[in-house]
Each structure stands twice: as structure tokens, then as C-alpha cells.
């Protein structure tokens, strides 16, 4: 359905011309984006012509999909008002702002939490459904720049709210940190999809938001902002793992802003590292390098050795994806050197509990996979797979796929298929779109050997996994 004509939509026509998208091309992109979200759309070039020449406004998710399609071509977010559709059923530009003012930062974060990915009904999952897939790496430019310039707010106390407002204490913050710790363990074991309608978004909306709007001293406030930053980054990570890239991006931006209010520079660096991994995963390796280096630059002399090691490892991942073998080797060497300096008594943050030599080895293996050096992949994968899998099930599945790719590139088809079968078995026990994509990539690499019985068996085993809804 569409609303009544309003006259030509010159803004939409102008932006289509700027993006170099034809009417038929836009219709196809919108239909494809809708199909990815389970929507059956049948727009064609005539539909687009009506939007442009007559100003007709499509209903439901279509305006947001139009913006996403054009934004994807331009490489930046496109708000509805820029295409003349601001009076459509609005999907606010919530979560993309990085306010300078602390009060505005609280509003930006709490507004985002109202739109969690699992929530149904007005203002909930429907908006996320339309936004998913419209990731634009340029949205990270302003947040990263402002954080680098001022990584900590001068004061965050909120001591004169409305009468009857809850006075926040350290015990309130402790509950949020316990929730974050539980979420980290569950995510590693079962994948981000198990939390789509679960406890992290609910905790942010129901528990954290009222606390941020309560009364607190500067000391308690710093701790509160740190805990909410951790939870918000986790929500972003889980969205990333389930393929909801737009949701992940907005959570990450708000997590970085909250970390600034917490005056927690290492945590801000961790959020930037998460942004870097997402940018690299989405094919923006140069921006991934910039984000990782931003984390490193601000944390020199502040973060623990283990933390600095992880940031260098993330930098290496981006260099590898960009095909920069020398820069990747330098970053990997720095990561190993910093990890060698780490000691048991170091004040490492709780959110870094996953990181050890096996994780360094796993990411090094992925670096050399991207650089097409299978011998190095096999060497590092052996170390990565040595750790017990009970706690880090998803990581084990990803490492098995990387191992399979290395065996394939070394000419060992039997070993590649054997590792692939194990990876499929692990992937079937968790809810992780990222792991499924790794399996899909492996099967694509095996296509030249499609007539081999072992490959056919692996493809058959993977069929239920690849057919499952995201």
C-alpha cells in the first residue's frame, strides 16, 4: 500500500541519480532486502516511478529499505528526510548520535534500548527488521574522533533528579556487572542468537535505563556508566553474531559513548576493537585498521599488557584482510610480545577473560587464511584447537572451519572434509549466523570438488544448518 500522492519527490529522484541507481535497480534492491527479512515485496520500476514523480509513499518497512539500499550504494547512512520520506512511518536515527553532553548521551542510549532486536509490537522488532543490513562504516567516524579527542567526561554525577527518584548505589551496579558476566559465558557457549529476545536487551531496558535516570554521585556514576557500556557492547556483539549489522553498529556507538562517561579508556578501546572487527568482517579493512589503531593509541600507558595484546591482534586481522602481509606480521608480533609480558596478578578487566594464547593463535590462523598461507594456518590452528570446548563452543566451531580451509588449500581434501563435518556438528548446537557463514564459505570453496562423495556428504550434513532461518 502507499499513501496518497503529494507531488514529485525531488529529493528521492536527486539521490537516486547521485547514487547511480535506476528505478528498476532500486526496486530490485528493495525487494532483495525485504526477502532477507522474510518480507515478500513485488516492487518494480513503475512503483519507483510513482514514488519519484507522484510522491507516493510506500508503507511498512519499504521507506527504511529504500534508505538502506541507497545508503549501501553511497557507503553512508541515509536518513529518511534526505529521500523525502521523513513523514513515513518513522524509524528514528536512534543510536547513531555521539552526543557531547552526558544527559543527551543517556537519552541517546536509553532511546536505543527501547528498540531492542527481539522486541515485538510498536517501536520494537519491526524497526530493527527494516534497518538490519544497512551498515555504513562511515557512521563510526564521528564517534571514534570524539572519543579520541575527549575519552572521558569531566563529571557525570546526577544529584538533583525528580523527587522520589532511586538513589543508585554500588550494589545496583554490581547486579549489572553480574548480568554482563553471565551474558558473556552464555554467548560463548550458545551463540548470540540465543539472546535475540533475551536477557541483555531486557536488562538494558528494564534494569539499566532507570538507574541511569536515577540519582548518583560521580564515583557511582562512573561505575554505572561502565557497567552499562559493557552490557551495550555485549548487545552489539550478539547482534553482530546473528547478522544484525545495523543493530550492532548502533549498540557499539552507544557503548563507546557510555565508556567515555565512565572514564574507562580501556573499555572504550575494547568497543573500538569490536567496531574494527565488524568493519573488517564487512569488507572495510582500511577502516578496521584505523579503529584498531585508535584503540591502541589512546591506551598506551593505560591498558594492561593483555589488553594491548588483544588490540594489536585486532589490528592484525584488519591488515590481513587488506592483504598487507608485512603490517599484519608486525601487529601479530606485537600482540605476542605484549601477551608474553602479561602476568597473573595484572589488573585485567573482566571482559578480557576469554583472551589467552589459544585465542591469539586462532586469530593468527585467520590472518594467514586471508593472506593465503596455509602452512601457517595449520600451525596456528593446532594450538587454537588444543583448548577444551565446553566454555567456548562457538570459537571452537569457527576454528574447525578455518582448519578445514587450510587443509583444502594444502591439497588435503579428506582432512578438510573431516574438519568440516566436525564444524557443522558444532554449528548445529549454537545460534550464530557468523558461524553459519563460515560453513557456507567452506562449502563454496569445495564446489570444484562437488562430485567427490566426501564433499557431497558434508554438503548434505550442512543442509539443515544452511536452511535454518537466521
Q: Could you list the pLDDT tens digit for every one of the 470 residues in the chain?
A: 455 556 888 899 999 999 999 999 999 988 887 776 556 788 999 999 999 998 888 876 788 788 888 988 887 778 778 888 866 544 457 889 999 999 999 999 999 998 754 443 333 444 555 554 467 888 999 999 999 999 999 999 998 767 778 899 999 999 999 999 988 888 877 776 654 445 788 899 999 999 999 999 999 999 999 999 999 999 999 988 888 888 899 999 999 999 999 999 999 999 999 999 999 999 999 999 999 999 999 999 999 999 999 999 999 999 999 999 999 999 999 999 999 999 989 999 999 999 999 999 999 999 999 999 999 999 999 888 887 666 778 888 898 999 999 999 899 999 999 999 999 998 888 888 888 899 999 999 999 998 899 999 999 999 988 876 55
- Confirm whether 328 is domain-assigned: no
> Rounded to an integer, what distance in angstroms lies between the CA atom of residue 271 and that of residue 41?
36
> Rounded to an integer, what distance in angstroms lies between the CA atom of residue 272 and that of residue 265?
10
Number of domains in the chain: 3
Query: 263, 288, 317 — which closes off a domain?
Result: 263
- Confirm whether 425 is domain-assigned: yes
- Confirm whether 363 is domain-assigned: no
> Rounded to an integer, what distance in angstroms lies between the CA atom of residue 259 and that of residue 226?
6
C-alpha cell, 422: 566436525
In this structure, are 46 and 99 located in the same domain?
no
* Boundaries of domain holding 111: 94-263
In this structure, are 160 and 111 located in the same domain?
yes
The pTM of this model reads 0.80
In this structure, are 197 and 101 located in the same domain?
yes
In this structure, are 110 and 17 located in the same domain?
no
In this structure, are 393 and 440 located in the same domain?
yes
- Confirm whether 228 is domain-assigned: yes
> Rounded to an integer, what distance in angstroms lies between the CA atom of residue 227 and that of residue 231?
6
**Cα 401 to chain centroid, rounded:** 21
C-alpha cell, 201: 536487551
- The answer to whether 36 touches 68, Cβ cutoff 8 Å, is no
- Confirm whether 300 is domain-assigned: no
Containing 343, the helix (H) or strand (E) segment is none
- Confirm whether 284 is domain-assigned: no
In this structure, are 170 and 212 located in the same domain?
yes
Task: Note the pLDDT of residue 271.
Answer: 98
| 3-class DSSP state of 76 | coil
**Cα 393 to chain centroid, rounded:** 19
In this structure, are 56 and 195 located in the same domain?
no
In this structure, are 51 and 113 located in the same domain?
no
Residues in Cβ contact with 217 at an 8 Å cutoff, skipping those fewer than 6 apart: 157, 159
Task: Note the pLDDT of residue 79.
Answer: 78
> Rounded to an integer, what distance in angstroms lies between the CA atom of residue 350 and that of residue 329?
28
Query: 21, 53, 83 — which closes off a domain?
Result: 83
- The answer to whether 280 touches 323, Cβ cutoff 8 Å, is no
Task: Note the pLDDT of residue 309.
Answer: 98
Query: Among all chains, which residue has been given the C-alpha cell 580501556?
Result: 266
The crossing angle, in degrees rounded to 10, of helices 218-241 and 433-445 is 30
Task: Note the pLDDT of residue 432.
Answer: 83
- Confirm whether 41 is domain-assigned: yes
Task: Note the pLDDT of residue 342.
Answer: 95
- Confirm whether 326 is domain-assigned: no
Task: Note the pLDDT of residue 5.
Answer: 55
Query: 238, 263, 288 — which closes off a domain?
Result: 263
In this structure, are 54 and 187 located in the same domain?
no
Task: Note the pLDDT of residue 236.
Answer: 93
In this structure, are 98 and 76 located in the same domain?
no
In this structure, are 62 and 203 located in the same domain?
no
Alpha helices for 410-432 (secondary structure H): 413-427
Residues comprising the chain, all counted: 470
Task: Note the pLDDT of residue 38.
Answer: 54
In this structure, are 98 and 79 located in the same domain?
no
> Rounded to an integer, what distance in angstroms lies between the CA atom of residue 431 and that of residue 190?
6
| 3-class DSSP state of 176 | helix
Side-chain half-sphere of 61: how many Cα atoms within 13 Å? Answer: 26
Q: What CA dihedral angle connects 20, 23, 24 and 30, to 10 degrees?
A: 90
Task: Note the pLDDT of residue 131.
Answer: 53
- The answer to whether 442 touches 420, Cβ cutoff 8 Å, is yes
- The answer to whether 21 touches 29, Cβ cutoff 8 Å, is yes
Amino acid at each position: 500500500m502507499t499513501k496518497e500522492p503529494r507531488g514529485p519527490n525531488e529529493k528521492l529522484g536527486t539521490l537516486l541519480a547521485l547514487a547511480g541507481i535506476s528505478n528498476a535497480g532500486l526496486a530490485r534492491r528493495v525487494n532483495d532486502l525485504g526477502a532477507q527479512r522474510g518480507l515478500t515485496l513485488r516492487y518494480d520500476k513503475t512503483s519507483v516511478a510513482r514514488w519519484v514523480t507522484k510522491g507516493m509513499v510506500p508503507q511498512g518497512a519499504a521507506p527504511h529499505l529504500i534508505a538502506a539500499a541507497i545508503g549501501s550504494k553511497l557507503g553512508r547512512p541515509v536518513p529518511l528526510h534526505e529521500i523525502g520520506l521523513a513523514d513515513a512511518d518513522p524509524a528514528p536515527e536512534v543510536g547513531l548520535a555521539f552526543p557531547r553532553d552526558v544527559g543527551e548521551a543517556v537519552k541517546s542510549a536509553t532511546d536505543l534500548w527501547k528498540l531492542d532486536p527481539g522486541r515485538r509490537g510498536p517501536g520494537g522488532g519491526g524497526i530493527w527488521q527494516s534497518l538490519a543490513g544497512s551498515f555504513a562504516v562511515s557512521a563510526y567516524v564521528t564517534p571514534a574522533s570524539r572519543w579520541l579527542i575527549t575519552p572521558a567526561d569531566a563529571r557525570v554525577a546526577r544529584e538533583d533528579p525528580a523527587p522520589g527518584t532511586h538513589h543508585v548505589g554500588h550494589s545496583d551496579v554490581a547486579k549489572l556487572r553480574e548480568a554482563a558476566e553471565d551474558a558473556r559465558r552464555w554467548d560463548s557457549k550458545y551463540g548470540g542468537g540465543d539472546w535475540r529476545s533475551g536477557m541483555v536487551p531486557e536488562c538494558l531496558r528494564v534494569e539499566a535505563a532507570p538507574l541511569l535516570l536515577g540519582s548518583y554521585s560521580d564515583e557511582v556514576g562512573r561505575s554505572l556508566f561502565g557497567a552499562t557500556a559493557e552490557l551495550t557492547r555485549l548487545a552489539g556483539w550478539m547482534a553482530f553474531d546473528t547478522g544484525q549489522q545495523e543493530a550492532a553498529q548502533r549498540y557499539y556507538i552507544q557503548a563507546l559513548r557510555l565508556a567515555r562517561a565512565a572514564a574507562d579508556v580501556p573499555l572504550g578501546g575494547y568497543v573500538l576493537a569490536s567496531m574494527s572487527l565488524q568493519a573488517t568482517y564487512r569488507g572495510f579493512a582500511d577502516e578496521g585498521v584505523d579503529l584498531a589503531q585508535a584503540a591502541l593509541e589512546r591506551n598506551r600507558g593505560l591498558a594492561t599488557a593483555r589488553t594491548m595484546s588483544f588490540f594489536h591482534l585486532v589490528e592484525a586481522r584488519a591488515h590481513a584482510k587488506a592483504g598487507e602481509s608485512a603490517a599484519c606480521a608486525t601487529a601479530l608480533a606485537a600482540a605476542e610480545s605484549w601477551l608474553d609480558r602479561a602476568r597473573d596478578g595484572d589488573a585485567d578487566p573482566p571482559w578480557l577473560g576469554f583472551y589467552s594464547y589459544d585465542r591469539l593463535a586462532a586469530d593468527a590462523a585467520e590472518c594467514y587464511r586471508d593472506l593465503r598461507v596455509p602452512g601457517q594456518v595449520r600451525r596456528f590452528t593446532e594450538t587454537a584447537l588444543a583448548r577444551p570446548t565446553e566454555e567456548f563452543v562457538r570459537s571452537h566451531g569457527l576454528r574447525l572451519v578455518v582448519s578445514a580451509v587450510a587443509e583444502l588449500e594444502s591439497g588435503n581434501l579428506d582432512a578438510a572434509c573431516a574438519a568440516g563435518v566436525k564444524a557443522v556438528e558444532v554449528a548445529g548446537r549454537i545460534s550464530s549466523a557468523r558461524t553459519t557463514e563460515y560453513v557456507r564459505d567452506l562449502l563454496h570453496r569445495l564446489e570444484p570438488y562437488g562430485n567427490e562423495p566426501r564433499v557431497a556428504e558434508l554438503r548434505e550434513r550442512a543442509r539443515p544448518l544452511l536452511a535454518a532461518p537466521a
